[in-house]
Amino acid sequence: MAAPADLVREIEAGGFLTDPAWRAAFEEVPRELFVPFYYAPGPGGDYERLWRDDPDPERRARWRQGVYSDQPLATRIRDGRLLSSSSQPSLMARMLEYLAAGDGMDVLEIGTGPGYNAALLSHRLGDAHVTTVDLDPDITDAARGHLAAAGYRPRVVTGDGAQGCRAHAPYDRIIATCTVPQVPPAWLAQSAPGALILTPLATGLLSLRVDDEGAAVGRFRSTPAFFVPLRGTPGGGRCERQMFRGMPCDAQRSDEFHFLLALSEGQLDPADAYTMWKEAGRPTRERYGVSARDGRQRAWLDDPEGPHTWPLPGTAEAGGGTVEGPGA
């Protein structure tokens, strides 16, 4: 029968869980308590609900096998739209190790989901150091129940994740389990000096270090990351078919170029983005970064003061444009 040890072995086989503290968390926090049911993809694009208490033993076995496999699980769907999920455990492990949260640090999680990630954080840091926020009261209510069943009681707050949680600020670490088009200013304002913010953005994982003036700079990790958008934030505008019209085949096939288009959407003309990407040697995610200062947020390639920078979509400077120098 599938068990937490099976999941840990699968994650370790991929080269993750190198930190013993996080390994212990994944071994000792039972994922099954957080996903009493989930929706598995079915034929024709439909979903099949698998349930812990299904009277059919074969379906119960399939439920448990999925829980302790290294895969994301859809936990809440409304009108065919995915609202919440339990992320792929190996990606969760990688993000938690990137977060580098240590003893005594206070962590804010944006996007509670079923509560599994909050439980892992609570196992490592203690309940009093973990705050998790989600907009949907149905999600936070369910997460509180799952956490209590597992023996954890972090602060679970129902609210707009883009606004953070000022009541328990400042935070040494902020981790988002949903994607954003830019870093919400409230996260920067609620960060302690030296804090680290880890958030999905433009199909990548952005790691920002905050200084004592509330400004931040950081690079993307090499890891691809595809998450549900933070609700209330704008999604992508142009359809991919339009963006790739006339693009060479190498651009259409390249995940790295797709990432650049997502990072520059509405700010760089796709043809200009392709020229930059090709001339720069087809850069991968870790060569890009973001700087945030005085209400402005800019993406950049290689150097925040270099020749290739542009505003992030939705920020004060944003608007159509081309590749700009830092003084533009």
Q: Which positions are catalytic?
A: 84
Interatomic CA distance for residues 202 and 105, integer angstroms: 28
Interatomic CA distance for residues 1 and 206, integer angstroms: 37
DSSP-based three-state secondary structure for 28: helix
For tokens 């609570």, name the residue: 122
Interatomic CA distance for residues 167 and 285, integer angstroms: 34
Nearest to 193 by CA among 207, 174, 212, 173: 212
292 has which bridge partners? Answer: 216, 297
DSSP 8-state symbol, 264: H
Contact 199, 227 (CB under 8 A): no
Q: How many CB atoms lie within 10 A of CB 75?
A: 22
Contact 170, 192 (CB under 8 A): yes
In the chain, the DSSP E strands lie at 37-41, 47-51, 73-78, 81-86, 107-110, 130-134, 155-158, 171-176, 191-201, 204-210, 216-224, 288-293, 296-301, 309-311
What's the token pair of residue 217?
């700079």
What's the token pair of residue 269?
């003309």
Interatomic CA distance for residues 156 and 127, integer angstroms: 10
What's the token pair of residue 130?
């973990």
Interatomic CA distance for residues 96 and 22, integer angstroms: 8
Contact 280, 301 (CB under 8 A): yes
